Chains A and B, each alone.
Chain A
Amino acid sequence: MSGGDADWPLWEVFVRPRRGLAHTHAGSLHAPDAELALRNARDLFTRRGEGVSLWVVPAAAVTASSPDERDPFFRPAADKPYRHPTFYEVPEGVRHL
């Protein structure tokens, strides 16, 4: 096969579903440059009005936290329940707190 697309970089696509919401990751696609990545993203992820704004980011530019989604990196947060409002006891009948 000639002209394989093996060399086209991978892009991560983020879609803002509507005004007031943040962009969320929708998936990835291959494209030779940013402009075509945007056009491909429109055709691939917003064929039914699923978005009002798109971001495309070279997948190679993403720095990720760690190779394991359950890494000790996040463990320090697990033993700090006092960071949550439910940790605290409040006298009966006190309101707006």
Chain B
Amino acid sequence: MGTAVSAEPERARAEDFERTIAADERIEPRDWMPDAYRATLIRQIAQHAHSEIIGMQPEANWITRAPSLRRKAILIAKVQDEAGHGLYLYGAAETLGASRAELLGKLHTGRHKYSSIFNYPTLTWADVGAIGWLVDGAAITNQVPLCRCSYGPYARAMVRICKEESFHQRQGYELLHALARGTGAQRAMAQDAVDRWWWPSLMMFGPPDDASPRTAQSMAWKIKRHTNDELRQRFVDICVPQAEALGLTLPDRDLRWNEERGHWDFGAVDWDEFRAVLAGEGPCNEQRLDQRRRAHEEGAWVREAAAAYAAKHPAGAAR
């Protein structure tokens, strides 16, 4: 039966692809797809996967110093989830013909990027709360529409991820809430963390729409469902009342309700800072990549031992 398909002319397959997208159905791994669609997805999914695993570092920094056993167990579970998210996403990228080893290689050699947010340091315990609330919160705002992405394996991975992310956000919010009701010093620590993480979190949605040339094509392919600015606005609208409930302020003098728009107006994001951090000039870029490479190299003996064991016991190995 396969011969009938391979004889089908390219144009008919392209039309089939367009029809599937238009009907809001999902593209599956072995469907024909335009090369640019495949390349766009591999780049986006890989960058997303890299962000999940690099994102383990700033929080793992606090595991040994968590203030209680409860907080420590929560933080370990969260960091472990992020490793899982990375694996779901590398798996989704592999269905497009990429190999995980190759994608990791590109991360390690700096040819692939990850989210700029993880190049900021976690200076205090309150940063763990601010990351959960704001960074995971921004990630959720970005990721919920991706559950309806036109590429099936990516959409399915996002469904799993979004389910897990909601605990991440809530534990961060709870942590900040506890600090905000604590001593003056704890309160100040919580406010300082929010002050430092707020703007980098807004940058997580990517450059403004007029400087985001790929958005139109990604939306036509239904990989993206909303523009960067739409999602950023949604996030700001969600966060303002949440900050109020914490009794903390957001570090933006221009933040005010706009009755006409039905949205919160907010100040200008420092896009020069965003570009600088992406270009490698953030406070922790070098440290993050060094740590990632070291973890990979130091794990080599485990991978080699497991492979040697599998070779000795072929009954348990994949044929």
A68 CA / B60 CA spacing, docked (Å): 43
Does A77 make an interface contact (CB < 8 A)? no
User: How far is A28 from B299 in the complex, measured between Cα atoms in Å?
Assistant: 21
Interface: B18 (CB within 8 A)? no
B70 contacts the other chain (Cβ, under 8 Å)?
Answer: no
Assess the B2–A61 pair: CB atoms within 8 A: no
- CB <8 Å contact, A70 and B16: yes
- B301, A3: Cβ atoms closer than 8 Å: yes
Closest residue of B by beta carbon distance from A37: B318
B95 contacts which chain A residues (CB < 8 A)? 28
**Shortest beta-carbon distance from A62 to chain B in Å:** 11
- For residue B242, CB closer than 8 A to chain A, the reply is no
Chain B residues with CB under 8 Å of A48's CB are 164
Could you tell me if B105 and A1 are in contact, using CB atoms closer than 8 angstroms? yes
Interface contact B94-A64, CB-CB below 8 Å: no
How many positions in chain B have a CB within 8 Å of any CB in the partner chain?
46
Q: How far is the CA of A25 from the CA of B205 in the complex (A)?
A: 32
The answer to whether B303 and A5 have CB atoms under 8 Å apart is yes
Q: Which residues of A contact B156 (CB under 8 A)?
A: 27
Residues of A near B91 (CB, < 8 A) are 27-29
Closest to B105 in A: A1
Flag whether A91 is at the interface (Cβ < 8 A): no
Contact mask for chain B residues 93-108; partner A; CB cutoff 8 A; 1 contact, 0 none = 0110001111011001
Question: In terms of DSSP, what is the predominant structure of the interface of chain B?
Answer: helix
Residues of B within 8 A of A9 (CB): 317-318
A10 and chain B: residue at smallest CB distance? B94
Contact (Cβ within 8 A) B87 A34? no
Q: A6-B101, A33-B310 are in contact. Are A58 and B1 (CB under 8 A)?
A: no
Residues of chain A lying within 8 A (CB to CB) of residue B269? none
Residue of A nearest to B308 (CB): A32
Interchain CB contact under 8 A, A68 and B30: yes
Residues of A within 8 A of B299 (CB): 3
Decide yes or no whether B65 CB sits under 8 A from chain A: no
1/0 contact trace for A1-33 toward B, CB 8 Å? 111111111110000000000000001111011
In this complex, how many residues of chain A approach chain B with their Cβ under 8 Å: the count is 39
Contact across chains for B309 and A33 when beta carbons are under 8 A apart: yes
Q: How far is the CA of A43 from the CA of B310 in the complex (A)?
A: 20
Given known A-B contacts A3-B303, A33-B310, A61 and B318 have beta carbons under 8 A apart: yes
A33 near B318 (CB under 8 angstroms)? yes
Kindly identify, within residues 60 to 93 of chain A, every residue whose CB is under 8 Å from any CB belonging to chain B.
60-61, 64-73
Q: What's the nearest-Cβ distance from chain A to residue B84, in Å? A: 6
Given A29-B87, A33-B313, A47-B84, A11 contacting B5 (CB threshold 8 A):
no
Chain A residues positioned under 8 Å from B88 (CB to CB): 27, 44
Interface residues of B in 3-56 (CB under 8 A from A): 4-6, 16, 28, 30-32
- Note all chain B residues with C-beta closer than 8 A to A29: 87, 91
Query: Given A32-B309, A68-B31, are A27 and B157 also a contact pair (CB < 8 Å)?
Result: yes
**Additional A-B contacts beyond A6-B102, A66-B30 (9; CB < 8 A):** A1-B297, A3-B301, A4-B303, A27-B88, A32-B317, A67-B5, A69-B31, A70-B31, A71-B5
Chain B residues near A (Cβ < 8 Å)? 1-2, 4-6, 16, 28, 30-32, 77, 80-81, 84, 87-88, 91, 94-95, 99-102, 104-105, 108, 156-157, 164, 293, 296-297, 299-301, 303-304, 306-307, 309-310, 313, 316-319
- Interface, chain A (partner B; CB < 8 A): 1-11, 27-30, 32-37, 43-44, 47-48, 58-61, 64-73
